[in-house]
Amino acid sequence: MTIERKKIKKESLGQWFEKMTAAGNRIMAPKRNKKQVCFETVTSPAEVAFDYVQTTVSAKRAVFPPVEEMLAYKFADKETKLEEKEIKPQPTVVFGIRPCDADAFVTLYEVFSRDYKDDLFLNRWEQTTFIGISCIQADSACFCTSTGGNPGNTKGSDVLLTPLKNGDFLVEVVTEKGKKIVTAAENLFSSADSDIDKESLLAKLPNKFEGKDMKAKINAQFDNEALWSRQSMRCIGCGACAYVCPTCQCFGIEDERFGSKGKRIRCWDSCCFGLFTLHTSGHNPRHTQWQRWRQRLMHKFSYEPDNLGVPGCVGCGRCSRACPTDMNILEHMLEIAEEKA
Protein backbone atom coordinates (compact mmCIF):
# COMPACT_ATOMS: atom_id res chain seq x y z
CA MET A 1 0.00 0.00 0.00
CA THR A 2 1.46 3.39 -0.94
CA ILE A 3 1.68 5.76 1.98
CA GLU A 4 -0.88 8.54 1.82
CA ARG A 5 -0.01 11.91 3.34
CA LYS A 6 -2.52 14.02 5.25
CA LYS A 7 -2.49 16.68 7.92
CA ILE A 8 -4.27 17.11 11.23
CA LYS A 9 -4.46 20.19 13.44
CA LYS A 10 -3.33 19.82 17.05
CA GLU A 11 -6.77 21.05 18.21
CA SER A 12 -8.42 18.23 16.27
CA LEU A 13 -6.65 15.47 18.16
CA GLY A 14 -9.29 15.71 20.91
CA GLN A 15 -12.08 14.91 18.49
CA TRP A 16 -10.05 12.08 16.98
CA PHE A 17 -9.57 10.59 20.46
CA GLU A 18 -13.31 10.91 21.09
CA LYS A 19 -14.12 9.12 17.86
CA MET A 20 -11.65 6.32 18.66
CA THR A 21 -13.04 5.94 22.19
CA ALA A 22 -16.63 5.97 20.90
CA ALA A 23 -15.71 3.13 18.53
CA GLY A 24 -14.83 1.02 21.59
CA ASN A 25 -11.07 1.53 21.68
CA ARG A 26 -9.06 1.97 24.81
CA ILE A 27 -6.24 4.42 24.07
CA MET A 28 -2.79 3.88 25.56
CA ALA A 29 -0.56 6.93 25.35
CA PRO A 30 2.47 8.44 27.08
CA LYS A 31 1.50 10.19 30.30
CA ARG A 32 3.82 12.19 32.52
CA ASN A 33 4.16 11.19 36.17
CA LYS A 34 6.71 13.44 37.85
CA LYS A 35 10.07 12.68 36.23
CA GLN A 36 8.89 9.77 34.14
CA VAL A 37 6.67 9.34 31.10
CA CYS A 38 4.92 5.97 30.81
CA PHE A 39 2.17 4.47 28.68
CA GLU A 40 -1.19 4.59 30.43
CA THR A 41 -4.83 4.46 29.41
CA VAL A 42 -6.04 7.97 28.50
CA THR A 43 -9.20 9.47 27.07
CA SER A 44 -8.02 12.90 25.98
CA PRO A 45 -4.89 14.30 24.31
CA ALA A 46 -4.67 16.78 27.19
CA GLU A 47 -3.38 13.86 29.30
CA VAL A 48 -0.76 12.94 26.69
CA ALA A 49 2.86 14.02 27.02
CA PHE A 50 4.43 15.19 23.77
CA ASP A 51 7.59 16.92 24.89
CA TYR A 52 9.92 14.08 25.90
CA VAL A 53 12.52 11.92 24.18
CA GLN A 54 11.41 8.44 25.21
CA THR A 55 9.12 6.77 27.74
CA THR A 56 10.65 4.84 30.64
CA VAL A 57 8.82 1.61 29.84
CA SER A 58 7.86 0.43 26.35
CA ALA A 59 4.27 -0.09 25.24
CA LYS A 60 4.71 -3.82 24.63
CA ARG A 61 2.24 -4.60 27.40
CA ALA A 62 -0.54 -3.69 24.93
CA VAL A 63 0.07 -6.99 23.13
CA PHE A 64 2.28 -8.79 25.64
CA PRO A 65 1.11 -8.01 29.20
CA PRO A 66 3.35 -8.59 32.25
CA VAL A 67 0.75 -11.01 33.63
CA GLU A 68 -1.49 -12.92 31.24
CA GLU A 69 -3.90 -15.76 31.88
CA MET A 70 -3.22 -18.71 29.58
CA LEU A 71 -5.76 -21.18 30.93
CA ALA A 72 -8.24 -21.51 33.73
CA TYR A 73 -9.29 -24.84 35.22
CA LYS A 74 -11.62 -26.29 37.82
CA PHE A 75 -11.29 -29.40 39.94
CA ALA A 76 -14.37 -31.43 40.91
CA ASP A 77 -13.95 -34.90 42.46
CA LYS A 78 -11.35 -36.58 40.28
CA GLU A 79 -12.18 -34.57 37.18
CA THR A 80 -10.28 -31.56 35.89
CA LYS A 81 -12.09 -29.28 33.50
CA LEU A 82 -10.44 -26.63 31.39
CA GLU A 83 -12.47 -23.48 31.04
CA GLU A 84 -13.60 -22.97 27.49
CA LYS A 85 -14.14 -19.34 26.79
CA GLU A 86 -14.03 -16.83 24.03
CA ILE A 87 -11.18 -14.41 24.41
CA LYS A 88 -12.03 -10.97 23.08
CA PRO A 89 -9.41 -8.40 23.97
CA GLN A 90 -10.63 -4.82 23.95
CA PRO A 91 -9.64 -2.98 20.75
CA THR A 92 -6.69 -0.78 21.59
CA VAL A 93 -5.02 2.19 20.01
CA VAL A 94 -1.42 2.61 21.09
CA PHE A 95 -0.83 6.27 20.48
CA GLY A 96 2.52 8.03 20.54
CA ILE A 97 5.01 5.20 20.14
CA ARG A 98 8.31 6.20 18.58
CA PRO A 99 9.45 4.71 15.25
CA CYS A 100 11.92 2.52 17.18
CA ASP A 101 9.02 1.13 19.22
CA ALA A 102 7.01 0.44 16.07
CA ASP A 103 10.01 -1.46 14.67
CA ALA A 104 10.13 -3.43 17.93
CA PHE A 105 6.48 -4.42 17.63
CA VAL A 106 7.28 -5.97 14.24
CA THR A 107 10.03 -8.02 15.94
CA LEU A 108 7.60 -9.17 18.63
CA TYR A 109 5.12 -10.12 15.93
CA GLU A 110 7.71 -12.28 14.20
CA VAL A 111 8.59 -14.13 17.42
CA PHE A 112 5.00 -14.90 18.31
CA SER A 113 3.76 -15.74 14.82
CA ARG A 114 6.70 -17.64 13.30
CA ASP A 115 6.10 -21.43 13.20
CA TYR A 116 3.70 -21.86 16.12
CA LYS A 117 1.04 -19.15 16.18
CA ASP A 118 0.73 -17.74 19.67
CA ASP A 119 -3.01 -17.11 20.01
CA LEU A 120 -2.70 -15.08 23.19
CA PHE A 121 -0.48 -12.56 21.43
CA LEU A 122 -2.18 -12.62 18.05
CA ASN A 123 -5.66 -12.07 19.49
CA ARG A 124 -4.43 -8.83 21.05
CA TRP A 125 -2.38 -7.92 17.99
CA GLU A 126 -5.41 -8.11 15.71
CA GLN A 127 -7.26 -5.66 17.95
CA THR A 128 -4.40 -3.15 18.18
CA THR A 129 -3.69 -0.12 16.01
CA PHE A 130 -0.34 1.65 16.29
CA ILE A 131 -0.19 5.42 15.88
CA GLY A 132 3.43 6.51 16.02
CA ILE A 133 4.99 9.92 16.44
CA SER A 134 8.30 10.72 14.73
CA CYS A 135 11.19 11.96 16.85
CA ILE A 136 12.15 15.61 16.61
CA GLN A 137 14.68 15.20 19.39
CA ALA A 138 17.00 12.43 20.55
CA ASP A 139 19.41 11.99 23.44
CA SER A 140 22.77 10.32 24.01
CA ALA A 141 21.17 6.93 24.73
CA CYS A 142 19.36 6.75 21.35
CA PHE A 143 20.88 4.81 18.47
CA CYS A 144 18.03 3.75 16.18
CA THR A 145 20.00 4.68 13.06
CA SER A 146 22.59 2.06 14.02
CA THR A 147 20.03 -0.75 14.14
CA GLY A 148 18.44 -0.12 10.77
CA GLY A 149 15.86 2.43 11.88
CA ASN A 150 15.50 6.20 11.76
CA PRO A 151 13.58 8.92 13.66
CA GLY A 152 10.85 9.08 11.00
CA ASN A 153 10.63 5.40 10.06
CA THR A 154 7.11 4.28 9.09
CA LYS A 155 7.86 0.56 9.58
CA GLY A 156 5.50 -0.96 12.13
CA SER A 157 3.21 2.05 12.51
CA ASP A 158 -0.30 1.94 11.09
CA VAL A 159 -0.30 5.74 11.10
CA LEU A 160 2.77 7.90 11.66
CA LEU A 161 2.45 11.49 12.84
CA THR A 162 5.31 13.95 12.46
CA PRO A 163 5.11 17.18 14.50
CA LEU A 164 5.18 20.26 12.26
CA LYS A 165 6.71 23.53 13.39
CA ASN A 166 3.30 25.11 13.95
CA GLY A 167 2.12 22.35 16.32
CA ASP A 168 0.03 20.50 13.74
CA PHE A 169 0.96 17.04 12.51
CA LEU A 170 1.88 15.49 9.19
CA VAL A 171 -0.09 12.25 8.98
CA GLU A 172 1.25 9.27 7.04
CA VAL A 173 -1.31 6.52 6.56
CA VAL A 174 0.85 3.42 6.29
CA THR A 175 -1.42 0.35 6.48
CA GLU A 176 -5.03 -0.70 5.92
CA LYS A 177 -5.59 -0.63 9.69
CA GLY A 178 -4.27 2.93 9.70
CA LYS A 179 -6.55 3.85 6.81
CA LYS A 180 -9.54 2.55 8.77
CA ILE A 181 -8.83 4.63 11.85
CA VAL A 182 -8.20 7.78 9.80
CA THR A 183 -11.24 7.31 7.55
CA ALA A 184 -13.44 6.90 10.65
CA ALA A 185 -12.62 10.57 11.46
CA GLU A 186 -12.20 11.72 7.87
CA ASN A 187 -13.38 15.29 8.39
CA LEU A 188 -10.56 15.99 10.86
CA PHE A 189 -7.88 15.45 8.23
CA SER A 190 -6.92 17.72 5.37
CA SER A 191 -4.54 17.02 2.55
CA ALA A 192 -0.90 17.59 3.37
CA ASP A 193 0.92 20.56 1.88
CA SER A 194 3.14 19.29 -0.90
CA ASP A 195 6.10 21.27 0.42
CA ILE A 196 6.35 19.57 3.82
CA ASP A 197 9.94 18.39 4.15
CA LYS A 198 9.59 15.61 6.71
CA GLU A 199 13.35 14.91 6.81
CA SER A 200 14.15 18.44 7.96
CA LEU A 201 11.82 18.12 10.94
CA LEU A 202 13.33 14.94 12.32
CA ALA A 203 16.00 14.60 14.99
CA LYS A 204 19.49 14.28 13.55
CA LEU A 205 20.94 11.01 14.75
CA PRO A 206 24.17 9.96 13.12
CA ASN A 207 25.11 6.30 12.91
CA LYS A 208 27.10 5.25 15.97
CA PHE A 209 28.00 1.82 14.60
CA GLU A 210 27.36 -0.10 11.41
CA GLY A 211 24.35 -2.27 12.24
CA LYS A 212 24.76 -4.78 9.44
CA ASP A 213 28.32 -5.58 10.56
CA MET A 214 27.40 -6.26 14.17
CA LYS A 215 26.31 -9.86 13.81
CA ALA A 216 29.70 -10.93 12.49
CA LYS A 217 31.53 -8.75 14.99
CA ILE A 218 29.67 -10.04 18.00
CA ASN A 219 29.89 -13.67 16.84
CA ALA A 220 33.65 -13.26 16.66
CA GLN A 221 33.72 -12.28 20.34
CA PHE A 222 31.71 -15.25 21.62
CA ASP A 223 34.63 -16.90 23.40
CA ASN A 224 36.16 -13.65 24.63
CA GLU A 225 35.41 -14.21 28.33
CA ALA A 226 37.60 -11.24 29.31
CA LEU A 227 35.43 -8.88 27.26
CA TRP A 228 32.13 -10.15 28.67
CA SER A 229 33.48 -10.19 32.23
CA ARG A 230 34.81 -6.68 31.93
CA GLN A 231 31.53 -5.38 30.51
CA SER A 232 29.30 -7.14 33.04
CA MET A 233 31.30 -6.69 36.24
CA ARG A 234 29.03 -3.88 37.45
CA CYS A 235 25.80 -5.62 36.35
CA ILE A 236 23.75 -6.67 39.38
CA GLY A 237 21.56 -9.15 37.50
CA CYS A 238 18.14 -7.53 37.84
CA GLY A 239 15.50 -7.52 35.10
CA ALA A 240 15.14 -3.76 34.63
CA CYS A 241 16.66 -3.76 31.13
CA ALA A 242 14.49 -6.64 29.89
CA TYR A 243 11.31 -5.24 31.34
CA VAL A 244 11.61 -1.72 29.91
CA CYS A 245 12.77 -3.12 26.54
CA PRO A 246 10.29 -3.09 23.63
CA THR A 247 11.64 -6.31 22.06
CA CYS A 248 12.35 -8.52 25.09
CA GLN A 249 9.74 -11.27 25.32
CA CYS A 250 11.14 -13.97 27.57
CA PHE A 251 8.40 -15.34 29.78
CA GLY A 252 7.78 -17.91 32.45
CA ILE A 253 4.71 -20.02 33.07
CA GLU A 254 3.26 -20.28 36.57
CA ASP A 255 0.32 -22.29 37.89
CA GLU A 256 -1.69 -20.73 40.70
CA ARG A 257 -4.31 -22.78 42.46
CA PHE A 258 -6.87 -21.58 44.98
CA GLY A 259 -8.85 -24.54 46.27
CA SER A 260 -10.94 -26.00 43.48
CA LYS A 261 -10.00 -23.41 40.88
CA GLY A 262 -6.75 -22.50 39.27
CA LYS A 263 -5.03 -20.57 36.50
CA ARG A 264 -1.99 -20.99 34.35
CA ILE A 265 -0.33 -17.60 33.94
CA ARG A 266 2.44 -16.37 31.72
CA CYS A 267 4.57 -13.59 33.15
CA TRP A 268 7.61 -11.59 32.10
CA ASP A 269 11.00 -13.11 32.80
CA SER A 270 14.58 -12.12 32.00
CA CYS A 271 17.63 -14.03 30.81
CA CYS A 272 19.66 -11.82 33.17
CA PHE A 273 18.23 -13.45 36.29
CA GLY A 274 20.65 -15.90 37.91
CA LEU A 275 18.34 -18.89 37.94
CA PHE A 276 16.79 -18.36 34.50
CA THR A 277 18.41 -21.45 32.97
CA LEU A 278 18.76 -23.51 36.15
CA HIS A 279 17.91 -27.21 35.65
CA THR A 280 16.11 -29.07 38.43
CA SER A 281 19.23 -31.20 38.74
CA GLY A 282 21.13 -28.11 39.89
CA HIS A 283 23.09 -27.73 36.66
CA ASN A 284 23.04 -24.17 35.30
CA PRO A 285 24.41 -23.65 31.77
CA ARG A 286 24.64 -19.87 32.36
CA HIS A 287 25.82 -19.74 35.93
CA THR A 288 27.84 -16.52 35.74
CA GLN A 289 26.67 -12.98 35.08
CA TRP A 290 29.07 -12.63 32.15
CA GLN A 291 27.50 -15.62 30.38
CA ARG A 292 24.08 -14.09 30.92
CA TRP A 293 25.23 -10.68 29.68
CA ARG A 294 26.73 -12.33 26.61
CA GLN A 295 23.42 -14.15 25.99
CA ARG A 296 21.52 -10.87 26.16
CA LEU A 297 23.68 -9.19 23.54
CA MET A 298 24.08 -12.27 21.33
CA HIS A 299 20.32 -12.78 21.29
CA LYS A 300 19.66 -9.18 20.31
CA PHE A 301 22.44 -8.66 17.80
CA SER A 302 23.05 -12.13 16.39
CA TYR A 303 20.52 -14.87 17.12
CA GLU A 304 17.31 -12.94 16.54
CA PRO A 305 18.48 -11.26 13.31
CA ASP A 306 19.77 -14.66 12.17
CA ASN A 307 16.66 -16.66 13.00
CA LEU A 308 13.95 -14.15 12.15
CA GLY A 309 15.57 -11.53 9.94
CA VAL A 310 14.47 -8.71 12.24
CA PRO A 311 16.46 -6.55 14.68
CA GLY A 312 16.63 -7.82 18.25
CA CYS A 313 17.47 -4.30 19.41
CA VAL A 314 15.94 -1.12 17.97
CA GLY A 315 18.22 1.41 19.66
CA CYS A 316 15.54 3.02 21.84
CA GLY A 317 18.02 3.43 24.72
CA ARG A 318 15.55 2.57 27.48
CA CYS A 319 17.77 -0.10 29.03
CA SER A 320 20.67 2.35 29.28
CA ARG A 321 18.48 4.99 30.93
CA ALA A 322 16.81 2.56 33.34
CA CYS A 323 19.87 0.53 34.37
CA PRO A 324 20.71 1.03 38.08
CA THR A 325 24.41 0.49 37.36
CA ASP A 326 24.77 2.43 34.08
CA MET A 327 25.46 -0.56 31.83
CA ASN A 328 24.88 1.55 28.68
CA ILE A 329 24.31 -0.92 25.86
CA LEU A 330 25.49 1.52 23.18
CA GLU A 331 28.87 1.85 24.85
CA HIS A 332 29.21 -1.91 25.05
CA MET A 333 28.27 -2.39 21.40
CA LEU A 334 30.81 0.24 20.35
CA GLU A 335 33.45 -1.64 22.32
CA ILE A 336 32.52 -4.85 20.52
CA ALA A 337 32.61 -3.07 17.18
CA GLU A 338 36.19 -1.95 17.90
CA GLU A 339 37.45 -5.18 19.48
CA LYS A 340 39.86 -7.22 17.40
CA ALA A 341 38.40 -10.51 16.19
For residues 104-143, which are near other proteins according to CB under 8 A? Answer: 111-112, 114-120, 123, 140-141
Query: Total number of residues binding other proteins (CB under 8 A)?
Result: 95
The Cβ of residue 75 has, within 10 Å, a number of other Cβ atoms equal to 13
DSSP-assigned beta bridge partners for residue 72? 263
Rule CB under 8 A: which of 215-234 touch other proteins?
222, 229, 232-234
Give whichever of 210 and 256 is closer to other proteins, judged by the CB atom. Answer: 256
Binding residues for other proteins restricted to 298-317, rule: CB under 8 A: 298-299, 302-303, 306-307
Q: What minimum distance in Å lies between the beta carbon of 265 and other proteins?
A: 5
CB nearer other proteins, residue 185 or residue 322: 322
Site for other proteins in 176-215 (CB under 8 A): none
CA atoms within 13 A on the CB side of 132: 28
The span of 165-173, 183-191, 192-200, 256-264 binding other proteins (CB under 8 A) equals 256-264
DSSP 8-state secondary structure symbol assigned to residue 107:
H
Q: Which residues contact 46 (CB under 8 A, 6 or more apart)?
A: 14
In this complex, which beta carbon is closest to other proteins, that of residue 79 or of residue 176? 79
Q: 50 or 73, CB closer to other proteins?
A: 73
* Angstrom distance (rounded) from CA 112 to CA 110: 6
Residues 149, 145: Cα–Cα separation, whole Å: 5
249 binds other proteins, rule: CB under 8 A: yes
Q: Which lies closer to other proteins via its Cβ, residue 167 or residue 212?
A: 212
Least Å distance, CB 211 to other proteins, is 18
Residue number, 98 or 124, with CB nearest to other proteins: 124
Binding residues among 149-178 for other proteins as defined by CB under 8 A = none
**Residue 265 forms beta bridges with which residues?**
69, 254
CB of 74 to other proteins, least distance (A): 9
> CA end-to-end span of the chain, whole Å?
43
Q: CA nearest 201: which of 178, 173, 160, 170?
A: 170
In whole angstroms, the minimum distance from the beta carbon of 120 to other proteins comes to 7
Q: Which of 168, 290, 297, 333 binds other proteins (CB under 8 A)?
A: 290
Find the shortest distance in angstroms from Cβ 284 to other proteins.
Answer: 9
Shortest reach from residue 184's CB to other proteins, in Å: 26
Residues 32-91 that bind other proteins (CB under 8 A): 34-36, 38, 56-57, 66-67, 70-71, 73, 75, 78-80, 82, 84-88
Alpha helices in 35-148 (DSSP H): 99-113, 119-126
Contact 221, 171 (CB under 8 A): no
| Distance, CA of 121 to CA of 123 (rounded, Å) | 6
Q: Which residues of 147-185 are buried (b: 16+ CB within 10 A; e: fewer)?
A: bbbbbbbbbbbbbbbbbbeeebbbbbbbbebbeebbeeb
